[in-house]
Chain A
Amino acid sequence: MANLLSSQRLLIVWGALALLVGVFSAYDATRSRPTDGAVWLLGGDQIRIVDTEPGGAADRAGLEIGDIVEGIDRQAIRNPRHASQLLQSKSAGDRVPYLYRRDGEVRETTLTLDSTRMANVRTYIVYCLVGLIYFMAGTYIVVRRPGLTAARLFFVLCTMFLIYFFSVSERSIFYYWSDLFIRNMGTLASLMLPPLFFHFFAVFPQRRTWLESRPWLVPLLYALPVGFYLDFSWKQLFGSSAASINATQQMALGIYFTAGLASLVRTYAGSSDTDMRQRVKFLTLGTVFGTLPFLVFNIALGRFIGQSEWSLLGAVPMVLVPVSFGYSIARYRLMDIEVFIRRSLIYALLTGLTVGAYLVLVVLVGHTLLDVSGQNSQLVAIVATLLIAAAFAPARERIQGFLERRFFREKHDLQQALHDLARVLPHTLERDTLIHLVETRIHELLHPTNFLFLSADPDVLTFSSEEGELPLLHFSRMLRRRGSAATPEVIQSELLRLARRHEASRDEFRAEMRLFERRGTELIIPAFAGERLVGAIALGPKRSEVAYDGAEVDLLQIVAGQMGVQLENTRLYDAAVERKRLEEELGVARDIQQRLLPSDVPRIDGYELAAVNLPSAQVSGDYFDFVPFGECVGLVIADVSGKGLPASLLASNLQASIRALSSSQSNPGEVLRIVNDTLYASTDSTRFATAFLACLDRDTGRITYSNAGHNPPLLRRASGEVEWLDVGSTPLGAFPSMQYGEAVVELEPGDCLVLFTDGVTEAEDPNGEFFGEEGLESAIHAHSEDGAAAVLQGLRDAVDHHTGPVGAADDMTVIVVRMLDEKGASLAAARP
């Protein structure tokens, strides 16, 4: 059995042989050959009657069981074979004298030979139809799923049913070799059906663990029936007693059937997988209700009790088994088999059947009506027929529509899938949801072994693997060029051609293709949005192992097209959402920043102060502040890393910290140290701030400062000398436990201190040249005699002039502090 199941060629041969046996049995059943209605054994050297057909020729002539036939047709019988040859030379209806011996007495009687031709032809035709249905079902399934063990088992099971039903001709006369052969084959089928039945349902729909872990049980399953068959064959040919399947053997075979049914029912009842239950439900019902009547009427009543008149009641329901299989396949893709019937063929068949039935119905009803009404007029008959035809036409169309929906399920499903997707996709704006939706639908329709969506960013697909995100440059290029679905082999060949043309490394192409090979990709469908490649679907082979056909590829391309468009929509939508979020965030950040900035510049006698914050398109973390710093005026300028709301929030936090500390501390360095530690502890390493904190003694003009990584402010002396105030340490929050040194400068009348952020010096001109410190110096020098506001404005103009119409990319924050000339006398008086 293992060899038969594993070799496709053997299966084909077996199927052909089984069909031959069936056809031969049917042919033989129609043959008219003479029979004497007596059953004798072929083995042995004499003809002992072991049975007579009730009402048969032997029975009518008075022959009984136990009689020994010595002569037929006035000829001494050498052996049973000689007797069969003699009978074969006669014809049905011939009167043949028999010499027989009974209880020692020699007697003579004359038999009128009967014919072996099937008496009950109608019953036999039903049997044959059932057998054919089994054979067709089994053949269809094994052709669609040749690699599946269950399919092969089912095929062998169906061929045995074919043989069984075709050989059921109630023949008991076997002195013709054909009788011998057919009965032998019928017995083979009878004996092998039960273990096959059990074996099949032990591997389908679920493979039983007891079988998986003990494969040696499989040959054991068949050992007993094979032994029965060999015993039967021996007795049939050489035995001295009648060959038959005795009651004990019947019982053993019945156990197989029962076990098979139990296995199936258990699978159905015990399955927690709803999909599995749905698939197996009709199959289970069909098998149970198809097999039970057979067990009752044919086995129990027919063989055990000998009442065979109910055998048809047992045989006809058997057709439920293949029918339930067929339905489960068509409805639930049982065994992952697609029902694929050519439209032209199904149209021809269905249309013919439907129209034929329709016409027959019309005619029947018409005739019936005419008979009932007693009308004989031809005109009346024609009118009545037309009316009836019109009345039944809608029903015919509905029936045909129903059948088309069922049989064209595949195409219907494909269309339905497109319809569903077209309905749902436009409303799906989340990328992951979109991909998941498409993936789910494709799985439901086509059952690919794997599904992968490759994102394109943009136009270059990215393959996600353990090694990371791998861009598929060449692959993407080829896909863009091709613009449609292709198998990896096609793409590879085109890629290689491209490689040859561009003299690029083939290894790179191959490396990209190997990624797909490892996944077992069978089909790749690109998703475009306009001209842009936005992604690709990579599908593995279908579980049914059937290649993707044209309709499916078309569907996938349509789906991919829809998907591409929608992906682009989701991207745009996401971008819009992000933009809006950024705008909102920008608004909030700007708002925070504005709040950080002092509303007014403090007025300090002897000094001019000017400050400005010029925001760019993106809100940065610049701020400036004037804080009371002991007896001094604290000057703060800071630049927080990052953009947007996080930077604004950090700036706000920094301002609050400095303000809080400046009220209790008098040393800028100390303040910065504390703020540094606080900032470091509360933010991640990517968050830091540069700051410059200076304490201006308004009386003395002394500035004590500390610089935490900020752009060193520029001090232009009245003499034109420039100093950069860079004493300090690292930016705030970058490193823990830093000490910030301090330095002191004393302002003189006419000195101008400019605090700025890097937005000033890093303002780029159209050529990318920075404004730089030189530009800053120049700008300050150019307005050395001007007041702070003028200096500030002059600096702004210089930067604007530098950047041109593009403008500065970053915020610019500037504080200008100028000691007035008239302040000098008081200072001289105030200083020691």
Chain B
Amino acid sequence: MFQSIHRMSAVGAVCLTILGCSGWSKETREVTCASDEAYAAYREGLDQAYRFHPEEAFEALRRATELDPQFVMAQVRLAATARGLGRKDFADSVLAAAYQQREVASPVEALLVERTYALAQDDHERGMEIYHELVKLAPDNPWVLRLRAEEARRQQNFRQALVFYDRILETDPEAIEIHNLKGYMYLGLGDYEEAIRALQRYAYYAPDNANPHDSLGEAYLYEGKYELAMQEFVRALEIEPTFLWSATHLAQALGITGQFRRAEQTLDELRPVFEERDQLKWLHLEQLKLAYLAEDWPRTIAIAEAQLPLPDQLPAMDTEWGVWVHYARTMGYLEMGQLEEAQAALAKLTTFLDSFQKKTAIYGAFDSIFEINRAALRSRFARKRGNPSEGIDDLRKAIAASKMSPHELASFRHELAEALLATNRPAEAAEVAEELLEKIPTAPRMNLLAAKAYHEMGQREPALEHLRTYLEVMRFADEGNPRVAEATKLLQQMVPRS
């Protein structure tokens, strides 16, 4: 009897092992697909897309749809990829086909197709409705999680977005583009270390693409690791010499560190590309920022004026451009003492901000952005009019109420500190400076301001430390940089020659 039991146990164990192995080795699918080959092609397409290989992604996804003509999720991805490649008509036809046969897919997939179709028709309201249905139906579906993260991001709820992104990675570690999105979430939260880690991962998984390096460069830039940032931007440009984002970011980094000539040169080299892509406004925007940063007010005004008039209907992605044009023009006139022109520019800026705020009211989260911009403007104006204390409180409140990241708040904090220093409140100015420097220790302008504040307070050591930091960051600055000269002079005052 015991022998029989032993034999049966052995056979049972073998069967379980085989079943377990077969079950273990079988891949689970997150999409409805009738063909293993189609699924494999779909996964390959996704992977190529995540790695910013749109052509390869397009081919793989098209192969998936040919192998399984009813593979609706592959069709949706194919449409998105085609649209990114500028093949709009093809994208529309594929999306329409997916929409027609969405019933063969799972309920979640059908809704996803329907939502994509609605958004392609600019029916955002319907899109939002379907979104809420999807969240109710399958809150943990990877695609729904992406939508939820997107929504959270739109609401500026970066932490919630990160939660959703982490859940996506748990089920699909190969969704490498999530690392990029996470990076930007962390940047939005001002958690630069985590942002860098996420973007380092992204750069590892997609090393032969410029975008990851550009994103990583951005993270370094916002954290104040300017040299690392520039290395990444250069790397991105090596991978893709016409990657304009990296060019502009590199110009920013160069500008922050006072290397304006190099920055201009970088932008000029890519002018033909900007022109070719009909993106000259972005070139101008960067030039405007550089001029502003260099405190070259005449040039600032010139560039800003050259952009005008702005179109009445600006797309959302051009908001920054529009804001900067008006802002820089206003500040330029203000700094040059042309108060009337400044007032007129301010009026246009305010009108622009108001109208855009209405447009983006649905999102709600942008209100604080507009408010802080207004507060900063008021403070600057008051200071220029000789009444620096006016507007300080509003600006301080606006900064406190803002959910912007430290690097986004840097200029506003700088404005506040300048105002406080101008009202002989160096301690408060130093405090404001330290708040920013805690997050971005190498922020050059704030280091200089802090040095001045401590110097006024008679605190030599912190003043010297900040000066040294400033001069270290600005060591490659163009010759004759006035701020560098100012810092050098101040240093000389504090450290007499022996």
> Which residues of A come within 8 Å of B, CB atoms?
70-71, 74-78, 97, 99, 101, 104-108
Q: Are A106 and B173 in contact (CB under 8 A)?
A: no
A76-B173, A76-B174, A76-B176 are contacts. A71–B205 as well, Cβ < 8 Å?
A: yes
CB-CB under 8 A for A71 and B207, given A76-B173, A76-B174:
no
B43–chain A nearest beta-carbon distance, Å: 12
- The chain A residue with its CB closest to the CB of B47 is A75
Looking across the interface, which residue of chain B has its beta carbon closest to that of A98? B204
- Find out whether the CB atom of B204 lies under 8 angstroms from the CB atom of A97: yes
Question: Chain B's nearest CB lies how many Å from the CB of A759?
Answer: 87
Contacting residues, chain A, for B173 (C-beta < 8 A): 76-78
Measured between alpha carbons, how far is A101 from B196 in the docked complex, in Å?
Answer: 13
Query: What is the 8 Å Cβ interface bit string for chain B, positions 195-209, against chain A (1 contact, 0 not)?
Result: 011001101111100
How many residue pairs between the two chains, A and B, have CB atoms under 8 Å in the bound complex? 36
Selected from A71, A78, A104, A105, the residue in CB contact (under 8 A) with B204 is A71
Cβ of B200 and Cβ of A106 under 8 Å apart? yes
Say whether B201 contacts A75, CB under 8 Å: no
Task: Check B174 against A97 for contact (C-beta < 8 Å).
Answer: no
Given A75-B174, A99-B205, 6 new contacts (CB under 8 A): A71-B204, A74-B207, A75-B205, A76-B173, A97-B204, A108-B204
Interchain residue pairs with CB less than 8 A apart (25): A70-B201, A74-B204, A74-B205, A74-B206, A74-B207, A75-B205, A76-B176, A76-B205, A78-B173, A78-B174, A97-B204, A97-B207, A99-B200, A99-B201, A99-B204, A101-B197, A104-B193, A105-B197, A106-B196, A106-B197, A106-B201, A106-B204, A107-B200, A108-B200, A108-B204
Bound CA span A108–B202, Å = 11
Q: What is the CA–CA distance of A106 and B176 in the complex, to the nearest angstrom?
A: 15
Closest 10 CB pairs of A and B: A76-B173, A106-B197, A99-B204, A106-B200, A76-B174, A78-B173, A108-B204, A71-B204, A74-B205, A106-B201
How far, in Å, is A773 (CB) from chain B's closest CB? Answer: 93
A478 to chain B, nearest CB (A): 47
Q: B207 contacts which chain A residues (CB < 8 A)?
A: 74, 97
Count residues of B near A (Cβ-Cβ below 8 Å).
Answer: 13
Residue of A nearest to B207 (CB): A74
Report Cα–Cα, A76/B201, bound state, in Å: 9
Chain B contacts for A104, CB-based, 8 A? 193, 197
| Residues of B bordering A, CB below 8 Å | 173-174, 176, 193, 196-197, 200-201, 203-207
Q: Which residue of B lies closest to A45 (CB)?
A: B170
Interface centre among A97, A106, A107, A108 (most CB of B within 10 A): A106
Residues of B within 8 A of A101 (CB): 197
**Smallest Cβ-Cβ distance to B174: which chain A residue:** A76
**Minimum CB–CB distance for B29 against chain A, Å:** 15
Contacts of B205 in A (CB 8 A): 71, 74-76, 99
Q: Complex Cα distance A71/B176, Å? A: 11
CA distance A75 to B47 in the complex (A): 10
CB distance A71 to B201 under 8 Å?
yes
User: Which residue of the partner chain A has the closest CB to B176?
Assistant: A76
Closest CB of chain B to A77's CB: distance in Å?
A: 7
Residues on the B chain within 8 Å of A71, using CB? 201, 204-205
Residues of B within 8 A of A74 (CB): 204-207
Q: Min CB distance, B316 to chain A, in Å?
A: 32
How distant is the Cα of A107 from the Cα of B201 in the complex, in angstroms? 8
Nearest-CB distance from B195 to chain A (Å)? 11
| C-alpha spacing A78/B196, complex, angstroms | 22
| Residues of chain A with a CB closer than 8 A to B174's CB | 75-76, 78
A16 to B18, CA, bound (A): 23
For residue B197, which residues in chain A have a CB less than 8 angstroms away from its CB?
A: 101, 104-106
Residues of chain B within 8 A of A108, CB atoms compared: 200, 203-204
Whole-angstrom CA separation of A106 from B200 in the bound complex: 7
Set of chain B residues within 8 Å of A107, measured between Cβ atoms: 200
Q: How far is the CB of A176 from chain B (nearest CB, A)?
A: 16
* Nearest-neighbor residue (CB-CB) of A70 within chain B: B201
Cα(A586)–Cα(B186), bound, Å: 137
In the assembled complex, the Cα of A234 lies from the Cα of B114 at a distance in Å of: 49
Residue of A71, A76, A101 with highest tally of chain B CB at under 10 A: A76
Query: Chain A residues with Cβ under 8 A from B204's Cβ?
Result: 71, 74, 97, 99, 106, 108
Q: Please give, as numbers and ranges, the residues of chain B lying within 8 Å of A70 by CB-CB distance.
A: 201
Residue of B nearest to A77 (CB): B173
Q: Which of chain A's residues have a CB closer than 8 A to the CB of B203?
A: 108
A78 vs B201: C-alpha distance when bound (angstroms):
14
> How far does the alpha carbon of A76 sit from the alpha carbon of B207 in the complex, in Å?
13
> Across the two chains, which residue of chain B brings its CB closest to A99?
B204
Which of chain B's residues has its CB closest to A82's CB? B173
The residue in chain B whose Cβ has the minimal distance to the Cβ of A81 is B24
Q: How far is the CB of A1 from chain B (nearest CB, A)?
A: 15
CB distance from B7 to the nearest CB of A (A): 13
A78 vs B203: C-alpha distance in the bound complex, in angstroms? 18
* Residues on the B chain within 8 Å of A97, using CB: 204, 207
- Closest CB in chain B relative to A691 CB, distance in Å: 90
Nearest A residue (CB) for B171: A78
Cα A99 to Cα B203 with chains together (Å): 10
Assembly CA distance A105 to B201 (angstroms)? 11
Assembly CA distance A76 to B177 (angstroms) = 11
Residue of A at shortest CB range from B50?
Answer: A76
A residues in contact with B193, CB < 8 Å: 104
Nearest Cβ distance between residue B344 and chain A, in whole angstroms?
Answer: 50
- Chain A CB count within 10 A is highest, among B197, B203, B204, B206, for B204
Closest to B170 in A: A45
- A78 to B171 alpha-carbon distance, docked (Å): 9
Given the complex of chains A and B, what is the CA–CA distance between A132 and B204 in angstroms?
49
Closest-CB distance, B291 to chain A (whole angstroms):
37
What is the minimal beta-carbon distance from A96 to any residue of chain B, in angstroms? Answer: 12
A104 to B200 alpha-carbon distance, docked (Å): 12
How far is it, in angstroms, between the C-alpha of A254 and the C-alpha of B205 when the chains are bound? 50
CA distance A491 to B197 in the complex (A): 96
Report the bound CA distance from A101 to B204 in whole Å.
Answer: 12
In the bound complex, what is the Cα–Cα distance between A594 and B240 (angstroms)? 151
Q: Closest B residue to A74 by CB, please name it.
A: B205
Cα–Cα distance between A104 and B176 once the two chains are bound (Å): 19
Cα distance A107–B200 when bound, in Å? Answer: 8
CB distance from A172 to the nearest CB of B (A): 25
Q: List, in ascending order, chain B residues with CB within 8 A of A105's CB.
A: 197
Distance (Å) between the CB of A524 and the closest chain B CB?
Answer: 42
Bound form: Cα–Cα A70–B202 in Å: 12
Give Cα A61 to B206, complex, Å. 21
Q: B198's closest neighbor in chain A, by CB?
A: A106
CB distance from A44 to the nearest CB of B (A): 15
- The complex places the Cα of A178 from the Cα of B173 at a distance, in Å, of 27
Chain B, residue nearest A76 (CB): B173
Among B197, B203, B206, residue most surrounded by chain A Cβ atoms (within 10 Å): B197
Min CB–CB distance A327 → chain B (angstroms) = 40
